[in-house]
């Protein structure tokens, strides 16, 4: 009997991905024998370094997004995240039920000016071309890397004698934070000179509304059925709980946390800024003035239609994506996507995670699948070896209400049994 992907050992999964062409032999060797980061890399990434931590990297294989096969790497410590996303993509025909509706990659920065003259806004409007030229001079390679300063606009400030400049940049394949801040800090003094005011701050905003991606799912209701509920019933219940997240912030924040389980895990695996990704998503969820779910679901005839809309400020070059060997390997495993493709993949992962979570909530409940995967974590906590984790987890699942004390007891019994059989052999 052929094993399923999740039943394979890490080495067997690596070998299969090599056979399928998603990994080279050298890349598989990297994942199987990762070395600690050298001190030069550690001290280049952070301060007061005393060591480093490691996280598991799981993959969701066999996904097709916008017609391109992808193996998706996810860095997370939570056992149920990878399994849930895998289940979500299965309900979505491995991603074939997804359509990319909108995708943009840009960011905006703010220059805040105080104590400006009464004619400051008019003076700035007359100097926008000069300010844009100063911005390009601060980053002369921007255009050659596929980026540009899209616009500079004048807006109201936070007081009667203040105003702000909003600078919007498309940063090419980079996330763009450093590019943006370089441009802002060059333009700010010139803007202050024009207005006769003083610069209060010049920095990017992490609200992310210029990097919004929208992905839509349309899957047959039959894909949702369980032994106890029809696909239509499940679909209607998913639509109802998603609508609840549009009206109740308590539900919405948990709804969105489930989405970000997947988005942040992909961002972390690829060396992107998870804090920026999370900040942008939650700000966007509240952009209407009420915090809402980032996805919606509704039943249309025999189809469940879901839409996710969120900013995903990521990059495929620069920063930790270039410095961390694991980030480079993760991007290679993904097939070296462009930044827009990476955003689409991340949004698709978020929608798959969301679908799986809602499906679990309206059918068996969240704990059944979640706890089944937590039993392996409990086995590790009490000292089980790699060979002991699966049998011990199975016994813990059968126990119904496992505890650490019970896990230790069952592990001792398992080892005593193994020792007895060893002596007999």
Q: Just list the catalytic residues.
A: 78, 257, 273, 370
Give the C-alpha separation, 200 to 187, whole Å.
13
Partnered with residue 114 across adjacent β-strands are: 198
Angle at 199 between CA 193 and CA 201, to 5 degrees: 145
**Phi/psi class of residue 82: alpha, beta or left (left: φ > 0; alpha: ψ in -120 to 50)?**
alpha
Q: Enumerate residues 6+ apart whose C-beta is below 8 A from 415.
A: 388
Distance from C-alpha of 295 to C-alpha of 284, rounded to nearest angstrom: 12
CA–CA separation, 204 and 86 (whole Å): 35
Angle, CA of 417, 418 and 422, to the nearest 5°: 115
Element (H, E) at 299: strand 295-300
Give residue 201's region: left, alpha or beta (phi > 0; psi -120 to 50): beta
């Amino acid at each position: 009997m052929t094993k399923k992907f999740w039943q394979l050992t890490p080495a067997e999964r690596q070998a299969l991905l090599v056979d399928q062409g998603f990994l080279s032999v050298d890349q598989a060797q990297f994942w199987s024998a990762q070395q600690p980061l050298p001190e030069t890399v550690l001290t280049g990434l952070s301060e007061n370094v005393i060591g480093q931590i490691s996280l598991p990297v799981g993959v969701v294989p066999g996904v097709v997004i916008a017609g391109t096969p992808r193996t998706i790497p996810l860095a997370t410590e939570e056992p149920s995240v990878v399994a849930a996303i895998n289940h979500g993509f299965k309900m979505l025909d491995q991603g074939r039920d997804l359509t990319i509706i909108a995708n943009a990659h840009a960011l905006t920065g703010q220059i805040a000016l105080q104590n400006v003259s009464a004619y400051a806004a008019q003076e700035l409007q007359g100097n926008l071309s000069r300010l844009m030229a100063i911005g390009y001079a601060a980053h002369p390679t921007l255009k050659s890397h596929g980026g540009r300063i899209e616009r500079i606009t004048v807006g109201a400030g936070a007081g009667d004698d203040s105003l702000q400049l909003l600078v919007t940049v498309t940063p090419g394949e980079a996330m763009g934070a450093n590019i943006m801040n370089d441009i802002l800090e060059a333009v700010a003094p010139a803007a202050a000179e024009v207005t006769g005011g003083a610069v209060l701050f010049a920095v990017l905003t992490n609200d992310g509304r210029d990097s919004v991606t929208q992905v839509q799912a349309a899957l047959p209701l039959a894909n949702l059925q369980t032994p106890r509920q029809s696909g239509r019933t499940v679909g209607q219940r998913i639509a109802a709980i998603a609508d609840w997240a549009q009206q109740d912030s308590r539900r919405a924040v948990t709804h969105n946390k489930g989405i970000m389980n997947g988005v942040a895990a992909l961002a972390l695996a690829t060396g992107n800024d998870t804090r920026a990704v999370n900040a942008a998503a939650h700000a966007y969820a509240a952009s209407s003035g009420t915090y809402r779910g980032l996805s919606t679901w509704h039943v249309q005839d025999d189809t469940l239609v879901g839409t996710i809309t969120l900013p995903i400020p990521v990059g495929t070059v620069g920063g930790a994506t270039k410095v961390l060997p694991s980030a480079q390997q993760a991007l290679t495993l993904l097939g070296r996507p462009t930044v827009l493709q990476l955003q689409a993949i991340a949004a698709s992962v978020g929608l798959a995670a969301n679908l799986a979570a809602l499906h679990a909530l309206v059918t068996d409940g969240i704990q059944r699948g979640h706890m089944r995967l937590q039993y392996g974590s409990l086995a590790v906590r009490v000292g089980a070896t790699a060979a002991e984790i699966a049998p011990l987890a199975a016994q813990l699942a059968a126990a119904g209400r496992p505890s650490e004390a019970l896990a230790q007891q069952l592990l001792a019994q398992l080892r005593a049994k193994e020792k007895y059989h060893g002596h007999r052999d």
